Amino acid sequence: MILLCDIEDRGYPTDYLLARIHGRRAFLLKDWEKVLFSLDISGYLMSTRYSKFISGYPADGILRRYQEELQWMYYQMNKNLRHIFGPCFMYAELGTLLTCLRYHLKKGKKTEIEYILAFSLLSERVKNILSLESDLPFILEMLDKRAAFLSDSPAGLSDIFITGGLPEVEQTITRTLLEHIMHEPGHPCITRFFISLIDSINIITLYKHLRWEMSAKPAFITGGKVKETVLSAILHSRDVSEITGLIQKHTGFYVGRPAAANVESALLKGISGQVKKMERESPDIGLILNYLWRFFLEARDLSILYYGNKIDKDIIREELVH
């Protein structure tokens, strides 16, 4: 499996994992208004499962707790489940990979990168590349050679970095990985999830190009339900308000005047609705997917609250998905 580490199959039955998830779901945060108005996010989290990770730098602790849960899930799965959910773990670890590249760009210390990778499910091959004490172009060249899915990219990452910087590299890696996932046969629930995810990423990309009046044509990801012709027509119109109708049709949520915060949160809420529906339709795969998604959203929302603790609470509330 590309990107991910290969572990021994412990042979746990699926019912065993489902029972464990039912118990662990009780620890997901529920009273988000209380968290939102907490004067000390770190202090609040000390009474939760985040406590052992946030004594130092809370933002890192939130990420570490998320990584720990992903690692636990991965190791509890049998070989069949790891195959089914491989795309979800790969997409989650994409965030780890991109974070390490940003550290390299800022000339971060090797110990900082090793800290990020401590709970990562990335393969040892990829971890070794990211841990190299080399400049970013060389790291990107090594990833080109060793990360199989990147062979689908028409240009090398180091060349993309020279012409478009790290943002262009991140977009290329994300697009290439998601298109690789969609070209592989997968479980219907996982395929539907990634269709919704790709649509959301494309709509956010469209919004940013319109909002910031970018001249370069965006590279939309193929594999979504929203056709590129629809996205391109709105892009050509240069009318940001048309995003509202597209989001409502895609998610069922009306966002009013589009803004970065409510566009992203509406799209993520739309995915949440799809995932909840999948759990009703598929009590095993759907339940596991919903738990992974809810934990991702929890870590995301906590990070927003931590970094935005001095921003008006009503503004922050718009960014939260819970």
pLDDT digits (tens, 9 = 90+) for 226-284: 999 999 999 998 888 888 889 988 888 888 777 777 889 999 999 999 999 999 999 99
What are 255's two structure tokens?
């966002």
Answer for the pair 100, 130: CB distance below 8 angstroms, yes or no. yes
Long-range contacts of 155-159 (CB under 8 A, 24+ apart): none
> Residue 144 and residue 166: Cα distance in Å, rounded?
15
Cα 191 from chain centroid? 16
Picking from 10-19, 144-153, 271-280, which range would have the lowest pLDDT averaged per residue? Answer: 144-153
Cα 205 from chain centroid? 15
Grouping H, G, I as helix, E, B as strand and the rest as coil, residue 47 is: coil
pLDDT digits (tens, 9 = 90+) for 168-199: 999 999 999 999 999 999 999 999 999 999 99
Q: CA dihedral defined by 126, 205, 309, 275, rounded to 10 degrees?
A: -80
Q: What is the pLDDT of residue 220?
A: 95
Beta carbons within 10 angstroms of residue 294's beta carbon: 18
State the Cα angle at 295 between 105 and 57, rounded to 5°: 45
How many Cα atoms within 13 Å fall on the side-chain side of residue 57?
A: 8
Answer for the pair 28, 296: CB distance below 8 angstroms, yes or no. no
Query: Which pTM value belongs to this model?
Result: 0.93
Percentage of the residues of the chain whose pLDDT score is greater than 70: 96
Answer for the pair 203, 247: CB distance below 8 angstroms, yes or no. yes
pLDDT digits (tens, 9 = 90+) for 77-101: 999 999 999 999 999 999 999 999 9
Q: Which of 4, 7, 2 has its CA nearest to residue 75?
A: 7
> Residue 313 and residue 279: Cα distance in Å, rounded?
32
Answer for the pair 298, 273: CB distance below 8 angstroms, yes or no. no
pLDDT band of 322, cuts 50, 70, 90: confident
Percentage of the residues of the chain whose pLDDT score is greater than 90: 59
pLDDT band of 56, cuts 50, 70, 90: low
Q: What is the pLDDT of residue 149?
A: 63
Grouping H, G, I as helix, E, B as strand and the rest as coil, residue 122 is: strand
DSSP state, residue 50: T
**What are the structural domain ranges in the chain?**
57-186, 187-322
pLDDT band of 115, cuts 50, 70, 90: confident
User: What average pLDDT does the chain have?
Assistant: 89
